[in-house]
Chain A
Amino acid sequence: MNRPFQLRSTSFPGSRPLLIVVLLLSCYLGCSKGGKEHTGEGRNYVVIAIQGDVDSFNPLFAEDVTAGEINDLIFPGLLDSKFDTTRGVLEYQPLLAKSWEYQNNNRDIIFHLRTDAKWSDGIPVTARDVQLSFELYGDTDVASVRQSSVEGLRRTKKGGLDIHEAVEVVNDSTVAFHFERPYPGQLFDAGLPILPVHVFGKLPRQGLRENAVNQNPIGSGPFLLKSWRPLQEIILESSPASVLPKPGRLSKIIFRVIPEPRTRLAQLRAGEVDLVANVRVEDAIELEKSPQLQIIPTGERVYDALNWNNLDPEEYAKTRGRVIRPHPLFGEARVRRALTLATDRVEIVQSYLRTFGRQAIGPISPLFRWAYNDTLKPLRYDPAAAASLLTEAGWRDTDGDGVLDKGGRKFSLALKITAGDQLRSNIATIVQNELRALKIDVQIEQVERSVFWKDLMQKKYDAWIAGFSVPLQMQLDEIWGSDLRQSPFNLVSFRNRRVDEILKEAKRIQKETDHAAAWKEFQVILYNEQPCTFLYWLNGLVAVNRRVHGTDIGVLGTLHHAWEWHVEPPLASR
């Protein structure tokens, strides 16, 4: 073949030297260890992989769990908390407050502050800081997500809140909280993080959310914010002068934002990170095999349920909530009970949660031993009994199409789940098959998270899988109160007078555990009524490298008492 041109040199002038440069550079870059940290010191720090960035370094606005835990290390409160797992109660210990006493029939709590606590800029922490902090928490212009914490404080004669009266500065080291009436969460609400008055006192309240001061927090805690690279890394540094309670034993805690779960776990296995929270069950089972890693459960504070809308959503929407009628499918307790009997929750727990979860019978976690009704046993999987209950309720397949019907209405429903949630997707499939055996037609629909929750709050769905993370204080009225406007999170719209009484009484007692019998009765009511099919309690799982010691990972979070963490021995730089 004729070749009109033949090149004698390389096709691209300069390509040979360019190639050589690229090869040398690749060798150089590749020869040094990739992915390993550079240290100028022994590695006296811990690296934690987190899924997303913090939303704020100001406890007024931080909604994210990780952000809240980080802020607690920077801005300690009056009290340190501890969860007694034997009894299932929160207990409090001194932190900024070295002691406190009750007065005025427990309506007032006088806190005596440490006199040696200082902010990181050297200014002493005083009672005025405490007062301002609660002023900010309660200010509607600030719109703090923790605004509910001031609701128990004493009101003025006109019914408003005057924080200078309610949180009284007695002197620099004494602050008095005056409550409207005694209630179980007084210490919990008074224990919020404290902010510096000399920083926040002079800032305008409007626009405080986006003020640059939130990115450079001045704290008094065992750690300070050293640096923050958005969506990359947060570095907390031990604060040598802190007395609340003491400087962190680690020189640093480094948070690396790694959105991909596989990457987080790969880095954990490789030793590049030391701790990963919210580990999935299937991953935990694999990680447990590694001798270098340990899996620590954080306690059963999250439950999932098959939720049945107890009211008719169409009528509710049409009348804008004025008319509440029972749902044509789920309005009857025996139908809901039938659906629970038709769901094999043992299979779900064994298949997907293994030893890291257990069946749920109600919304009160077994963690709260004083309130949990352990006489109630989960309803056993019994499709025959379920079918019988449905027949009793009038559901029969009158037209032979394989789907139950009653009064011309098919027992057909759309089961909504949040998109991308593999666990709930698997559960939905199991439920679909089990209900199909009872001639109930179930269509699974995945909905994007933001849309899902907006539609739920508007009570648009008939059935869905979702759950709640339960607070450490027994505050259930937002979720189970019958007044649907006052209880916007009563998403299943369950209404029961006795439950309302129990919820109301709970706010009037001083000691939480005094209400144990009522809470047990509450669980019996829900057990009988089955407003939703409680599926399981999920144990949060944290994977930690065994070189990290002194952790107190549990019910109170991953970073609880992180000032005690240490690594032994500190590794030499590599």
Chain B
Amino acid sequence: MARLAAKRLASAIPLLLGLLTIVFLISRLAPGDPVTLFLSPTVPAQVADELRRQFGLDQPLLTQYLRWLSNAIQGNFGVSFSHQRPVLQVIAAFLPNTVILALAAIVLELVFGILLGSLAARLHNSFIDKAVTNIGLIAYTLPTFWVGFVLLAVFAYAFGLFPSSQMHSVNSEALTRSSQLLDLLKHLVLPACTIAIPGGAGIARYFRSSLLRVRGEEYITVARSMGIPERTIFLLYELPNALVPVITIFGLEIGTLLAGAIVTETMFAWPGMGRLAVMAIFSRDYPLVLGCTLVSGLVVIVGNLSADLIYSVVDPRVRVPS
């Protein structure tokens, strides 16, 4: 498994390089000028020229690319035009926030999805099963911003149960560590649920179908006839096999969420990678756009690799020869 992981990561390098090169070209060729945002009638034209020189924008495209590539290989992704700090420093400030939100959302999705899917499968063809299936379909197709607005309206504004924005309350630095953690958790609930509700509904549907299929397998019937306890059958036979489609979703979701959930982050003023990337694009902050692309690419690759590795643990039949 370690060799598989190493091989896959090694093959990701040319993939990332290709991705970054494409994004480099597209961002440079797209209309717009990062220096324009610094200009106003009170700022002299020579300042704009100097800024272009400092940002390296006065060089031919090929020179810019080669310089960027040479620096990138050495781990230097340049300075963000809009944040006026090294790109990696900027990303390091925002990535943990996205990781927190993404992991919370994933955990909630998996818990909701598997619980509801199990319940529906257990009570197959009952009212509960139909409710989970139909409501799950509706929830799955709900747009994120709509879910977020409803949660905000009900739980933040109407009942004041949870904060409406940001990661911390005002003056949270005066709290003890445990209180700060609790404060963070309270701020995390609504944005994580905004992502988890549609996601969990999808997982519930997939897991329900998969569990029903697995339960119909002969080996389950044999296991039951051998007197193996239900709990053991579920944990050792049904769950691992039924989880296969969920693992696929997990692999895709973790990559997408770690790249940043822009809608949720904007609604809840969550300072994450999604907002950072969009702001970088609008302000033509080329170094930061590339930095965010690198992070997105890496997390998608790692997410898919994680899914494949978990696959091979859960189902030896799909173990990929290394």
Contact = CB atoms under 8 A, between A and B. Distances in A.
A475 B156 CA distance: 48
Interface string B245-287: 0000000000000000000001101010001100000111000
A256 B50 contact: no
Contacts of A233: 166, 168, 170
Given A38-B183, A254-B170, A451 B162 contact: no
A13 B234 contact: yes
Interface residues of B, number: 80
Nearest to A32: B186
A37 B166 contact: no
Interface string B160-178: 1111111111111111000
A173 interface: no
A30 B230 CA distance: 36
B283 A15 contact: no
A30 B41 contact: no
A263 B284 contact: no
A105 B15 CA distance: 69
B121 A210 contact: no
B11 interface: no
Given A231-B94, A232-B168, A475-B41, A35 B162 contact: yes
Interface in A225-241: 227, 229-233
Chain A's interface: helix, strand, loop or mixed, by majority? loop
Contact of A270 (B122, B157, B189): B157
B51 interface: yes
Contacts of B47: 143-145, 147
Contacts of A26: 189
Among B94, B230, B275, B284, find the residue whose CB has the most chain A CB atoms closer than 10 A.
B230
Interface stretch (A55-63, A276-284, A319-327): A55-63
Contact of B157 (A141, A151, A266): A266
A35 B187 CA distance: 8
**A5, A148, A256, A475 — which one has the most chain B CB atoms within 10 A of its CB?**
A5
B7 interface: no
A448 interface: yes
Contacts of A63: 37-38, 40, 43
Interface stretch (A72-80, A86-94, A216-224, A452-460): A452-460
A454 B170 contact: no
Contacts of B283: 450
Contacts of B34: 450
Interface residues of A, number: 78
B63 interface: no
B79 A450 contact: no
A247 to B, nearest CB: 20
Given A15-B115, A140-B50, A145-B47, A468 B41 contact: yes
A478 interface: yes
Given A448-B32, A450-B283, A451-B32, A230 B43 contact: no
Given A32-B186, A227-B173, A148 B43 contact: yes
A214 B83 CA distance: 11
A12 B238 CA distance: 10
Interface in B7-66: 31-34, 36-47, 50-51, 54
Given A35-B162, A259-B269, A453-B39, 14 more contacts: A8-B230, A11-B118, A12-B234, A32-B186, A38-B171, A38-B175, A39-B171, A56-B84, A63-B40, A143-B50, A210-B79, A233-B166, A263-B165, A272-B164
5 contacts: A7-B230, A147-B44, A453-B39, A454-B36, A457-B36
Interface of B: 31-34, 36-47, 50-51, 54, 79, 82-86, 90, 93-94, 111, 114-115, 118-119, 121-122, 125, 152, 155-157, 160-175, 179, 182-183, 185-186, 189, 215-216, 220-221, 224, 230-231, 234-235, 266-267, 269, 271, 275-276, 282-284
